[in-house]
Amino acid sequence: MINLEVNSVNIFLNLLLSVLSRLVPKKRNLVLFGAGRGEVYKGNPKYIFEHIISKHGRFNEFWITGNKIIYHKLKKVNKPVLYKYSLKGFIAVLRAQFIIIDFSVKDFSYMGTLPGRFNIIQTWHGIALKHIGLDEYENHKSILKKSLIKSVYACIKKYFQTLEYKKYKFIIAASETEAINIEKAFNTDKIRITGFPRNDTLFEQYDKELLPVKLKEAKTIILYAPTFRDNGFNKAPFSESFLVQLDEYLVKNRSIMLIKKHPHDKSLTVTEYQNIIDVSLQYDDIQQLLCFTDILVTDYSSVFFDFVLTGKPVIFYSYDYEYYLSQCRGMYYDYYETLPGPFAKDESQLMNLVISCKKWSVSKDYRQRYNEFTERFHKYRDNCSTARFISELEALQRS
């Protein structure tokens, strides 16, 4: 049931914010950070925020959130944080010189659209394999034609998205290849190729002593990280018999498979296996998992773009590829031609690739495809993306 009282408050606050934003002056050096519709503490904004905090005095920075749990967690460790439903939070949004996000204006505002005067920097939440931004509508045209209501809603949403994108002072990218898609998807040429700040952590030595005992003692840690399906329908990726077989193999070989579901994915539930563990609730920030993962298994999620910076193997599990393309979302690249592989189209192929990983992952042909792919999608392969972003932010501040 829709909470009309809460929605009314959000509508009122958003309208007030929009009107006052044209009157209230911005405060130099005040920078706000938000992510994931204001509900999480992760992504590029998190890692930029953490870096700036460590360099005291450069900016007057705050994390802004509508999640009280996040607010109290950050407050407890003395990090500058604001609750957006407080007077201080509301005023900070009005006065911020820059607001840094990774999804949309809802990372800091009260609704999904926000007319007004705001200086937004979009760091996005992944290199796009699937259509994003305005390009999403191209893929859904045939579906939208069947429903007048959906078509009208899509037109309205697209209109407000276009207005939002005009507020972006710049958008970051990892390569020229990615920048081409961003320019089209966001209808802008304000793109800065800095690399993704969150990936700096992939170049740092991870202390495995910090892991729980079971993970610390595992010979191999496999991470299964799928994307969501736009239409809400999720075909289960694994059968029960396959999970039983896989679990037996993992136990025998002192290995573990972690499952990190997308927040919108409800297709997979695992509770009764020894070495297959769902960590979706324990690890909100997937970057923390990538640091100690040995093998990544994914479908069409953009997480593999980040993971290839580690040089470790990826298995692409495309069990519903045709369905995904026709019913969910289009892609910028030919999946089987562009990605380095290997590909598993069913459970049997996936099991074989897991078992033989040590062999195929060091083959000359695989390493060549892998390295060429990494170079194409990452201009920089170092731990300096945050520093490059801050240089761009300071240049914008001076302009």
Q: Is 253 exposed, middle or buried (0-12, 13-18, 19+ CB in 10 A)?
A: middle
Tell me the per-residue pLDDT of 266-303, one tens digit each, with 9 for 90 and over: 667 787 899 999 999 899 899 999 999 999 999 999 99
The predicted structure's pLDDT at residue 327: 85
Question: What is the distance between the alpha carbons of residues 232 and 143, in angstroms, rounded to a whole number?
Answer: 14
Cross-strand bridge partners of residue 5: none
State the pLDDT confidence band at 143, using cuts at 50, 70 and 90: low
Tell me the per-residue pLDDT of 236-258, one tens digit each, with 9 for 90 and over: 899 999 999 999 999 999 999 99
Greater model confidence, 269 or 109? 109
The predicted structure's pLDDT at residue 263: 76
The predicted structure's pLDDT at residue 7: 86
Residue 242 tokens read as 């396959």
- The mean pLDDT of 171-187, rounded to a whole number, is 97
Q: Is 184 exposed, middle or buried (0-12, 13-18, 19+ CB in 10 A)?
A: middle
Question: What is the distance between the alpha carbons of residues 371 and 385, in angstroms, rounded to a whole number?
Answer: 20
Task: Report the interhelical angle of 43-54 vs 385-398 (nearest 10°).
Answer: 80
Q: How many CB atoms lie within 10 A of CB 295?
A: 21
Is the pLDDT at 202 greater than 80? The verdict is: yes
Q: What average pLDDT is seen over the chain?
A: 92
Q: Is 398 exposed, middle or buried (0-12, 13-18, 19+ CB in 10 A)?
A: exposed
Tell me the per-residue pLDDT of 313-331, one tens digit each, with 9 for 90 and over: 999 999 999 999 988 889 9
Most confident of 32-46, 134-148, 198-212: 32-46
- 298 φ/ψ angles, rounded to the nearest 5 degrees: -145, 175
Cross-strand bridge partners of residue 27: 96
State the pLDDT confidence band at 77, using cuts at 50, 70 and 90: very high
Residue 279 tokens read as 């960590």
Q: Which segment of 198-207, 342-351, 357-366 scores lowest on mean pLDDT?
A: 198-207
Amino acid at position 171, single letter: I
The predicted structure's pLDDT at residue 146: 56
Is the pLDDT at 51 greater than 80? The verdict is: yes
Q: Which segment of 2-6, 93-97, 274-278 scores lowest on mean pLDDT?
A: 2-6
Task: Report the interhelical angle of 87-95 vs 4-20 (nearest 10°).
Answer: 40
State the pLDDT confidence band at 156, using cuts at 50, 70 and 90: confident
Contact 66, 90 (CB under 8 A): no
The predicted structure's pLDDT at residue 2: 39
Is the pLDDT at 307 greater than 90? The verdict is: yes
Please name the residues in contact with 389: beta carbons below 8 A apart, sequence gap of 6 or more: 44, 48, 123, 172, 192, 194, 197
State the pLDDT confidence band at 3, using cuts at 50, 70 and 90: very low
C-alpha R_g of the chain: 22
Q: Which domains does the chain have, with CATH numbers?
A: 11-201+383-398 (3.40.50.11820), 205-377 (3.40.50.12580)
Cross-strand bridge partners of residue 82: 64
State the pLDDT confidence band at 70, using cuts at 50, 70 and 90: very high
The predicted structure's pLDDT at residue 141: 53
Tell me the per-residue pLDDT of 58-67, one tens digit each, with 9 for 90 and over: 799 999 999 9
Question: What is the distance between the alpha carbons of residues 117 and 17, in angstroms, rounded to a whole number?
Answer: 9
Q: Which segment of 109-113, 229-233, 357-361 scores lowest on mean pLDDT?
A: 229-233
Helix extents (H) in the chain: 4-20, 43-54, 68-76, 87-95, 136-139, 141-144, 148-165, 176-185, 213-216, 240-252, 287-290, 303-307, 321-327, 335-338, 347-355, 357-360, 364-377, 385-398
The predicted structure's pLDDT at residue 210: 82
